Amino acid sequence: MAKRKVIFDSDTASDDTIALMLASDFFEVKGVTIVAGNVKFENEIRNALFTLEYSGLSDIPVFVGSNRPILGKWRTVEEVHGKNGMGDWKISEPTKKPESEHAIDAIIRLSKEYNGELEILAVSPLTNLALAYLKDHDLVKRIRKVWIMGGAFSKGNTTPLAEFNFWVDPEAANIVVSAGFDITVVPWEVTEESATIYDNEWEKIEKLGNRRSEFFINVNRVLREYSKSVGSKGSVHPDSLTVSIAYDNSLALSYVYKSISVETCSDSRGAMLVDWYNQFKDRNSIQIVLKADEKKFKQYLFDYLSRA
Ligand SMILES: O=c1[nH]cnc2c1ncn2[C@@H]1O[C@H](CO)[C@@H](O)[C@H]1O
């Protein structure tokens, strides 16, 4: 069966790189679009280029997108991903270069080329997608599906209420979730519950001793330390889980269809509001994953890492 066609939208650092590798295995990746978020923008671009080169995927184009959120100030989180966003692993300078076409134009062009087929894997702040939509509203009709890693029900990883991707650009998140796209959102708590790699699993990956496992261990070393320092039981892999759910929706064990909005004010900025009781009748519903299949996710991940 032909692989589904996707764009991988990413603020490439640590788990984003593994998610990109999985995506290239599961899907036909038509392009990687870079957006401001996790670490210094130049490093995000370099990390995406390096990951593709390392994986023998140099033919996948990288498009540079927005280097800042639409409105707000944000901070990068090198403490989570390492100074270079690759767990402080000293990566070589990639020879591959990004394309000259802007990410927003690439999203619009590819959505026309693969009208009704193209899906977006957004494991990042939603700035690029929001801007593409603002430039061309008909994008909604051409994009088959948008998979989003973002939002928190109450346990924010960046502020008490906000998950990082929604917090970086809540204005963009609001534009995207209310535009009318067919959306699945995988919130932070779901990923912490089902996409945490525990010590015994980490050691198992380390023991594989191949190119892919070496990459995994190196890029996620700082993520693991950081995750543990804030109370998680291992390294948390939200982007890899989201890509796996996109590939196999049966990984979404429990979900609801509700509308959401994203707070844009002061201390609650980036918070996800779920309309649990359907009080806002005119808003479009999206799929919100409540529980994911940890076992199946880890099978996909280990299978990929073992096949190096
Ligand atoms: O503490 C963190 N753990 C895991 N991922 C994080 C963290 N901080 C920022 N991100 C980034 O934001 C999303 C998850 O909120 C992921 O897309 C990841 O790239």
- Cβ–ligand 1 contact at 149 (below 6 Å): yes
- Cβ–ligand 1 contact at 189 (below 6 Å): no
Mean pLDDT of the chain: 98
CA of 162 to the centre of ligand 1 (A): 11
Q: In this predicted complex, what is the ipTM?
A: 0.98
Cα–Cα dist 46/138, whole Å:
32
pLDDT reported for residue 1: 84
Tokens of 61: 């184009």
Condensed to tens digits (0 to 9), the pLDDT of residues 153-177 reads 999 999 999 999 999 999 999 999 9
* Number of compact structural domains in the chain: 1
CA of 207 to the centre of ligand 1 (A): 26
Please report, for the domain that includes residue 283, its CATH number: 3.90.245.10
Mean pLDDT score, 238-248: 99
Condensed to tens digits (0 to 9), the pLDDT of residues 57-94 reads 999 999 999 999 999 899 999 999 999 999 999 999 99
- Cβ–ligand 1 contact at 38 (below 6 Å): yes
Domain holding 47, by residue range, is 3-304
DSSP class per residue in the chain: -PPPEEEEEE--STHHHHHHHHHHHHSEEEEEEE-S-SS-HHHHHHHHHHHHHHTT-TTS-EEE--SS-SS------HHHH-TTSSTT--PPPPS----SS-HHHHHHHHHHHTTTT-EEEE-S-SHHHHHHHHH-TTHHHH--EEEEE---SS--SSSSSB-HHHHH-HHHHHHHHTTT--EEEE-HHHHHHHSEE-HHHHHHHHHH-SHHHHHHHHHHHHHHHHHHHTT-SSEE-HHHHHHHHHH-GGGEEEEEEE-EEE--SGGGTTBEEE-TT--STTSPPEEEEEEE-HHHHHHHHHHHHHT-
Mean pLDDT score, 227-250: 98
Of the CA atoms within 13 Å of residue 177, those in its CB half-sphere come to: 31
- Cβ–ligand 1 contact at 44 (below 6 Å): no
